[in-house]
Every structure is written in C-alpha cells, then in structure tokens.
C-alpha cells in the first residue's frame, strides 16, 4: 500500500495526453478541499491519509502532569499500528514529541475529554465508547489508565480530498 506521502507526490504531477507525467508543469490542477470525519477504532480500515490529533500526557518542568495535543498525519496502518508523521520538532515539546514518526497500536485506548469520558463511564460502568458497530476503549488524564510519556489518538480523524475544479479547458474534454 502506498504511503500518504506517495499519494500526495502522485497528485503533484499532471499527465500529458499520452499518459506520461508533465515534468515541465509539476503543479496539481486548481482544486478545492473537501473533508469528512471518520471515527478511529480497533477495526479501522485505512484507505487514505488522515489528519488526527495525538495526545501525550507528560510531566512538565514544575513536575506536574500536563496534556499535550498535537496535529499529525496518519500515513498508513502497518502490522496493527497507526504510523503517524510528526510534523513539528521542538526542544520545548515533551521528549516523546521529538521523533519524526509516531507509532500507536490500533488496540490502544483513545483519548476523549473529561466530560465525554465520565458520561460514557457512568452510562455503562466501563471506560468505553459504544458506536453503531464497534466499541472503543477510552482514556482521560483524570483516569489512572492514561500513562505519561505514551501517545494516544483522539477518536475523530479527518480525511482531506482535493477535488479538481472544472475549467473551460477541462470541460472541452468531457
């Protein structure tokens, strides 16, 4: 399966009439972006790159637990792991944040805010979120199951799709 970056690179080259890439004009056609949300879960089937929010509980300089949120791209799913591209490196970020690739098991719990966590916990007596055809384990920093120095994902991720705008030139060939 191609990585997310491979898919983006393929979008970057137009084809000539005979199907060869136009190396003199490597820009993608004019387009607009459509997005849709998906819910990540243990049985999630990856089909395209997604933008997701990673969550890390770490100990700050004042020796207190602090939640750190970071937007990343799910590049692929491999051997039961989400493979995420970490787009930001900073010496001010938690130590676990200083790596170009983050791997998170599909079967790890997913992070939700405190209100959602306690709502679902009180509803069924377990730290799970029950959706139509799947159940996902959830965590929050106020619950002892969330560990410091370990990445979690929020269950909602987004698929971004570039849709080519029809121009007068492209309408001629329709």
Q: How confident is the model at residue 173 (pLDDT cuts 50, 70, 90)?
A: very low
Res 4: pLDDT? 55
CA nearest neighbour of 164 among 33, 68, 60: 33
Q: Cβ contacts of residue 106 below 8 Å, gap of 6+? A: 42, 43, 44, 77, 80, 81, 82
**Averaged pLDDT, 154-158:** 93
* pLDDT value at 174 more than 50: no
Domain total in the chain: 1
pTM comes to 0.70
Distance between CA atoms of 140 and 75, rounded to whole angstroms? 25
Note the pLDDT of residue 35. Answer: 79
- Kindly indicate the confidence band of residue 144, based on its pLDDT and cuts at 50, 70 and 90: confident
Q: Select from 136, 149, 161 the least CA-distant residue to 8.
A: 161
Cβ–Cβ contacts within 10 Å for residue 23, how many? 9
Write out the residue range of the structural domain in which residue 114 sits.
Answer: 4-172
pLDDT digits (tens, 9 = 90+) for 59-95: 888 998 899 898 899 999 999 999 998 766 554 555 5
């Amino acid at each position: 399966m191609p990585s997310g970056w491979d898919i983006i690179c393929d979008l970057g080259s137009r084809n000539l009439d005979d199907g060869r890439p136009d190396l003199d004009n490597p820009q993608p056609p004019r387009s607009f972006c459509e997005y849709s949300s998906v819910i990540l879960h243990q049985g999630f089937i990856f089909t395209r790159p997604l933008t997701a929010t990673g969550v890390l509980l770490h100990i700050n300089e004042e020796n207190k637990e602090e939640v750190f949120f970071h937007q990343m791209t799910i590049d692929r799913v491999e051997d039961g792991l989400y493979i995420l591209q970490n787009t930001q490196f900073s010496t001010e970020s938690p130590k676990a944040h200083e790596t170009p690739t983050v791997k998170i098991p599909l079967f790890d719990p997913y992070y939700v805010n405190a209100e959602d966590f306690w709502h679902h916990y009180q509803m069924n007596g377990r730290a799970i979120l029950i959706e139509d055809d799947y159940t996902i384990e959830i965590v929050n920093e106020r619950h002892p199951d969330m560990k410091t120095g370990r990445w979690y994902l929020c269950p909602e991720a987004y698929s971004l799709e570039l849709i080519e705008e029809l121009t007068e030139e492209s309408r001629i060939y329709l």
